[in-house]
Amino acid sequence: MDHLPVFLNLKGKTALVVGATPAAWRRAAWLARADAAVTLVTNQSVAVETGSETPVTLVERSFAETDLDGVRIVCIATGDRDEDARIAAQADARGLLVNVVDRGDLGSFIVPATIDRGSVTVAIGTGGALPGLASELRHLIEDAMPDHVDRIAQFATEFRQAAEAFLPEVDMRRRLWETVLSGPIATALRAGQLPEARRKMFELLARPERLKSDGEILLVGAGPGDPELLTLRALWALRRADIILYDELVTPAILDRARRDAERIPVGRRQGDSRGWTQEETNALMLRLARAGRRVVRLKAGDPFIFGRGGEEVEYLQRHGITATVVPGLTAALGCAAGAGIPLTHRDHASAVLFAAGHGATADGTTRWAAHLKAGGTLAVYMGLTSAKAIADALAAGGIARDLPVAIIENGSRPEERISTGVLGDLGWLADQHQGGGPTLLVLGDVVRLSPHWHAEQPLWTAAW
Ligand code: SAH
């Protein structure tokens, strides 16, 4: 974060704007909207239309250092860079909040793009990088924000104390506000029917047992790591979770999308690591939390039902009388293949794809994989990095050509994504280049040739064998 976003209370505080440029007048109007006592020092006569009750005091002369006396916040836009810098330095020396228009580097703060809906304000900062980006984002957010959001905010303020008195438990209050936001009260507010909304609210507060809901468990697929690859349903689940039990492979970027005050518990365990939670412990915890009425999200990398032990968890919960809801996710093979530009099936190259687990692969298993590859299928191997060499040897022994194209995708869909391609004969050596890194997927088959990462002259294995 380049800048700290804060909302300043400037009511009645003295704000100074220096300059005779249109930007200076805009800053004066902006500060006046927050009810600051604004003085505009300008050496040109201007009429400032503030659009607010608060008038701007005009001082028509050049800036003098004493103008900074008693001031909290200063905006500078004289149109002369040297002059701007000089005034900024004086203000800064006094420890004031300083903004220099178009010179974020000179001041202590920059002005965000804002959406102003009464008491609801959204401020967007892009570190001053690209002004167009902030306004683009503003349009997107404006489109998504209901017009009556200010009415909802005022309504919530009106009932805040009553809600705390009637519903001492935080979870209950959260449920209350969720009901307000998504139910008939929001509909009444949207229609401007405030008395109706109030009546319904009193009803809810008087009978809070209506808000009590049973606990629930959602098994949610988080996808391969890029939060943009979450499904809308997964996002919705994360936004209303009371508690999130997440796996080792779930990225911080995804947890960032969850409700701020949701409790987060890492229950992961790395392959081959005996520390961390056992499956039994995780199961028992899920059950206990659901029975305590909590909304539990069991968050798993990729898809919960693909090498995620989701099936076992659903069975366990069923045995204990709880039906879990499964929210599918994009499994690693799909995210990795997209990132590496490998079509897993292709009319001319592969008519089937097999998702297999490399960890603990048996001779029997590899014989089946060989048959699948011989039939022209694509093989995606999860958890196959450490046994990559053994897999390659078993497949070669099973009659697969050593020049079969292979790809290794590490950290698929994440910023640290690394992709190597080669041939089966090199798989062990290639895998060594990825040991100790992030999660890694192997893709074997003719389709790897279609990847932009594929280089035709790479059968190094001829040298090794
Ligand atoms: N349920 C998950 C798989 C869990 S098993 C899914 O559907 O994707 C864990 C294995 O998944 C890892 O060892 C690795 O092989 C693979 N994997 C998960 N995320 C990955 C990623 N971002 N990039 C590459 N491989 C990944």
Contacting residues for 211 by C-beta, under 8 A, at least 6 apart: 167, 172, 175, 176, 179, 204
- Short-list 200, 202, 173, 172, CA closest to 186: 200
pLDDT at 463: 41
Residue 460 and residue 426 in contact, taking contact as beta carbons nearer than 8 Å: yes
Q: Which residue CA neighbors atom 5 of ligand 1 most closely?
A: 307
Chain centroid to CA 418: 22
- Structure confidence at residue 46 as a pLDDT band (50, 70, 90): low
What tokens were used for 55?
């008038």
Q: Residue written as tokens 């659903």?
A: 314
CA pair distance 257, 232, nearest whole angstrom? 12
pLDDT at 290: 87
pLDDT at 217: 92
Task: Give the Å distance between the CA of 341 and the centre of ligand 1.
Answer: 17
Q: Which residue CA neighbors atom 18 of ligand 1 most closely?
A: 332
pLDDT at 48: 63
Q: Please name each of the domains of the chain with its CATH number.
A: 14-111 (3.40.50.720), 149-211 (no CATH), 216-330 (3.40.1010.10), 334-464 (3.30.950.10)
pLDDT tens-digit readout, 250-279: 999 999 999 988 999 999 875 556 667 888
Q: Which amino acid is at 226?
A: D
CA pair distance 61, 76, nearest whole angstrom? 15
Chain centroid to CA 348: 38
CA pair distance 152, 149, nearest whole angstrom? 5
CA pair distance 409, 339, nearest whole angstrom? 9
Q: Which atom of ligand 1 is nearest to the CA of 247?
A: 4
- Short-list 56, 17, 65, CA closest to 37: 56
Q: Which residues pair with 75 in a beta bridge?
A: 17, 99
Contacting residues for 3 by C-beta, under 8 A, at least 6 apart: 109, 110, 125, 127
Residue-by-residue DSSP string for 35-82: T-EEEEE-SS------SSSSPEEEE-S---GGGGTT-SEEEE--S-HH
- For the sheet containing 405-410, what is the strand order? 353-357, 378-382, 440-444, 405-410, 418-423
The count of other CB atoms within 10 Å of the CB of residue 325 is: 12
Mean pLDDT of the chain: 90
Q: Could you tell me whether strands 378-382 and 325-327 are parallel, antiparallel, or unpaired per DSSP bridges?
A: unpaired
Alpha-carbon dihedral of residues 148, 153, 155, 158, nearest 10 degrees? -160
What tokens were used for 349?
């190259």
- Structure confidence at residue 213 as a pLDDT band (50, 70, 90): low
pLDDT tens-digit readout, 51-60: 666 688 999 9
Binding-site residues, ligand 1, Cβ < 6 A: 224-225, 249, 300-303, 306-308, 331-332, 336, 382-383, 409, 411-414, 439-441
pLDDT tens-digit readout, 328-344: 999 999 999 999 999 99
pLDDT at 355: 97
The count of other CB atoms within 10 Å of the CB of residue 71 is: 17
Q: Which atom of ligand 1 is nearest to the CA of 305?
A: 1
pLDDT tens-digit readout, 64-109: 999 999 999 999 999 999 999 999 999 999 999 999 998 888 999 9
pLDDT at 464: 42
- Structure confidence at residue 61 as a pLDDT band (50, 70, 90): very high
Task: Give the Å distance between the CA of 158 and the centre of ligand 1.
Answer: 48
Examine the pLDDT at 457 and tell me if it is beyond 70. no
Residue 189 and residue 159 in contact, taking contact as beta carbons nearer than 8 Å: no
Residue 351 and residue 417 in contact, taking contact as beta carbons nearer than 8 Å: no
Task: Give the Å distance between the CA of 271 and the centre of ligand 1.
Answer: 11
Q: Residue written as tokens 């059950």?
A: 287
CA pair distance 293, 128, nearest whole angstrom? 45
CA atoms in the 13 A half-sphere facing the CB of 101 = 20
Examine the pLDDT at 423 and tell me if it is beyond 80. yes
